[in-house]
Structure 1
Amino acid sequence: MELRQLEYLVAIVDEGGFARAADRLHIVQSAVSQQIRRLERELGFTVFDRSHRQVRLTPAGEAFLPYAQAVIAATTAARDVATTLLAEGHNVLRIGTSEGLGEHLEAILALVTDRRPDIRIDLVAAHSAAKLAALRAGDLDAAFIRAPGDTAGLSVLELWDAELVVALPATHPAAAHPVVELADLADLPAALAPADTAAGVAELIRKACADAGFGTKPGPPFTNLQDLLAGPIATGRCWTLLYADVATRIPTRRIAFRPTDPAITIPTALVARVPATPLVAALRSAARAYAASVAGSHDRPPRSIG
């Protein structure tokens, strides 16, 4: 039994005949008749009484008709749901986020939704390696990534440089200065995020320390920032680096947040799948416009790669 056979049956009943049903269905009458005969063979009974001038349902056909109508109604409803879900899916923009984006992210998303109010945005927090993997797997449409590293096969829009500050015990001698020279931290262990979660950031930090004449001593494991600050750093066991935007939102008396000399800045980029969908194109346009508007306070304007 095929859906089209049930549709033909209902059309014949609605139109009062095979010819008018064929006109409604935009097919020849012989095709309608052939499918109804096949349906009757499969059912094992006659659906229409053809002995009269006007086509009528047999008693068995009358009993069968409501079930055919129910199948067609259910199929129509299922198609409507599928169409709605597809439309909603096309309006969903899945974006990977980075720690410390703060007002930058809010401003960019506000621009996107002003331009495309139909967009629904889903934000996913993850480390850099996970976001790159999710982009390549199709689980994300775009992602804000710090020093993204290997972006082969992806498009990259460089936006701005984010400044890092050092978090060190307030009792450390270097905390007495408005700017901390990295070399003054050489003897204190460093608790830094694992390189496998943000390889590009880890490499920039390693190079900055090497340029200052030392290699970092490994400190306590970096579990999460809150625990690290409240425990090992506040008690004088280590130091770490974090984004300046994040540091401004952390109230503490036992920890000092200071810019470093030499300064450490991390490039922030919007990485996306290619080719860009209309929604990703809208996001890139908004990010580019926002980055250009704040370029005066950063080292460089936004730049596309790939």
Structure 2
Amino acid sequence: MELRQIQYFVAVAEDLHFGRAAERLHIGQPAVSQQVRRLERELSAELFDRSGRTVTLTPAGRALLPEGREVLRAMDSFAATARRLAAQGDATFRVGISSALGQRLDDFLDALPDRGAGTRFEFQTLDAHTRLEEVRAGRLDAAFVRGLESVPGLLLLSLWQDPLVVALPAAHELAGRDRLRLADLARLPLRIAPRAENPVLFDTVVLACRKAGFEPALGPPSTGLQETLAEIGAGAGGWIPMYPAAAGTVSSRRVAVLPLDGEPVAIRMSLALRADADPERLKLLTETSARVHGKSAGKETSV
């Protein structure tokens, strides 16, 4: 018995006409008739009554039709699963990232479910605006973005909260403390990128300073983290807010990095992707993001 015999039987049973079934199958009618006859011989049962002017199903044919349809559905499902697994094995996810993810990126990759183990990732370091535009255009499959509650046309999957830390000159009297209150920094100039370049970070820090009771005095704008850290270590003074993942990049003994005491100044990290993304990719990234979020929430609760 061959699958094509069952396929031909189901087609004739649904059309009750060998000619129309052959047209639907895009093969000649003699081939359909031949294979159905062969199936009947193998089953030792007549499936169609051909004695009248029209073709009708015999009792055996009516009984076997649901079984035949189920076999074909199983075959379609098998083929679809095989195609999906093959595509997944060769899948490449193009993801936009920032330059300050550090170990957080490892946490995301570690959270991939077993079925995503063969997935290959290509990462592009881009500014936040470009990351979102590339996802919208379909040139990126997803992007890590900070501090956004919603983005038109995109889906945001929550990942973790990044509590900011502070870098300041190691020679400053405040550097000797274990932790700082934000208000302790009121008399030091704030070194931060202009709002136009990073509105999320700028607004979060300035609002936190105001909640702490002071208006931050803006020093020369930060043109890059490493450059600004070097300037602070060389005596330029001031303080700069940093993401925890970037703290490990501070190697100068002239710069001290301290956590903030009290209510954390935190920025949420999310994964942005198109709402109409491929269902399998959407499912994989949603499950991975949920795992990262759950693990991160557990750490925050235990602190």
Looking at structure 1, the residues matched to 111 and 244 of structure 2 have their Cα atoms a distance apart, in angstroms, of 24
Q: 1:266 corresponds to which residue?
A: 267
Measure how far apart 1:165 and its partner are. 0.6
* TM-score, normalising length: structure 2: 0.64
Contact 2:104 2:245 in 1 (8 A): no
Matches within 5 A, 1:202-221: 202-221=202-221
Cα 1:115–1:104 shift into 2, 3 Å: farther
Contact 2:160 2:269 in 1 (8 A): yes
Looking at structure 2, the residues matched to 193 and 139 of structure 1 have their Cα atoms a distance apart, in angstroms, of 27
Q: 1:224 corresponds to which residue?
A: 224
Measure how far apart 1:200 and its partner are. 2.2
Q: 1:105 corresponds to which residue?
A: 105
Contact 1:171 1:236 in 2 (8 A): no
Matched to 2:289, the amino acid is A
Looking at structure 1, the residues matched to 146 and 244 of structure 2 have their Cα atoms a distance apart, in angstroms, of 14
Contact 1:206 1:215 in 2 (8 A): yes
Looking at structure 2, the residues matched to 224 and 108 of structure 1 have their Cα atoms a distance apart, in angstroms, of 26
Contact 1:154 1:272 in 2 (8 A): yes
Looking at structure 2, the residues matched to 256 and 138 of structure 1 have their Cα atoms a distance apart, in angstroms, of 42
Q: 1:39 corresponds to which residue?
A: none
Matched to 1:242, the amino acid is M
Cα 1:289–1:150 shift into 2, 3 Å: closer
Q: 2:281 corresponds to which residue?
A: 279
Measure how far apart 1:257 and its partner are. 0.7
Measure how far apart 1:114 and its partner are. 4.1
Looking at structure 2, the residues matched to 155 and 230 of structure 1 have their Cα atoms a distance apart, in angstroms, of 38
Matched to 1:296, the amino acid is G
Looking at structure 2, the residues matched to 257 and 203 of structure 1 have their Cα atoms a distance apart, in angstroms, of 21
1:53-99 CA distance string (max 9 Å, x none): xxxxxxxxxxxxxxxxxxxxxxxxxxxxxxxxxx69x8221111134
Looking at structure 2, the residues matched to 181 and 173 of structure 1 have their Cα atoms a distance apart, in angstroms, of 14
Measure how far apart 1:233 and its partner are. 4.6
Measure how far apart 1:168 and its partner are. 0.6
Matched to 1:289, the amino acid is R
Matches within 5 A, 1:3-14: none
1:225-277 CA distance string (max 9 Å, x none): 11111123541422101012221342221111111234211111111111232
Q: 1:194 corresponds to which residue?
A: 194
* TM-score, normalising length: structure 1: 0.64
Looking at structure 2, the residues matched to 211 and 181 of structure 1 have their Cα atoms a distance apart, in angstroms, of 12
1:106-150 CA distance string (max 9 Å, x none): 232244384224433111112222212222222221111111255
Return 5+ residue gaps in structure 1 as ranges: 1-24, 28-86, 301-306
Cα 1:232–1:252 shift into 2, 3 Å: closer
Q: 1:145 corresponds to which residue?
A: 145
Contact 1:149 1:199 in 2 (8 A): no
Report the secondary structure of 2:112's partner residue.
helix
Matched to 1:95, the amino acid is V
Looking at structure 1, the residues matched to 196 and 161 of structure 2 have their Cα atoms a distance apart, in angstroms, of 21
Matched to 2:272, the amino acid is V
* Greater mean alpha carbon deviation, residues 213-222 or residues 238-247: 213-222
Report the secondary structure of 1:267's partner residue.
strand
Looking at structure 2, the residues matched to 115 and 255 of structure 1 have their Cα atoms a distance apart, in angstroms, of 44
Cα 1:135–1:196 shift into 2, 3 Å: farther
User: 1:295 and 2:272 equivalent?
Assistant: no
Matched to 1:283, the amino acid is L
Return 5+ residue gaps in structure 2 as ranges: 1-25, 29-86
Contact 1:220 1:238 in 2 (8 A): no
Q: 1:235 corresponds to which residue?
A: 235
Moved segments of 4+, more than 6 Å:
none
Matched to 1:181, the amino acid is R
Q: 1:68 corresponds to which residue?
A: none
Looking at structure 2, the residues matched to 149 and 105 of structure 1 have their Cα atoms a distance apart, in angstroms, of 21
Looking at structure 1, the residues matched to 127 and 282 of structure 2 have their Cα atoms a distance apart, in angstroms, of 20
Report the secondary structure of 2:131's partner residue.
helix
Q: 2:23 corresponds to which residue?
A: none
* Greater mean alpha carbon deviation, residues 205-214 or residues 184-193: 184-193
Matched to 2:223, the amino acid is T
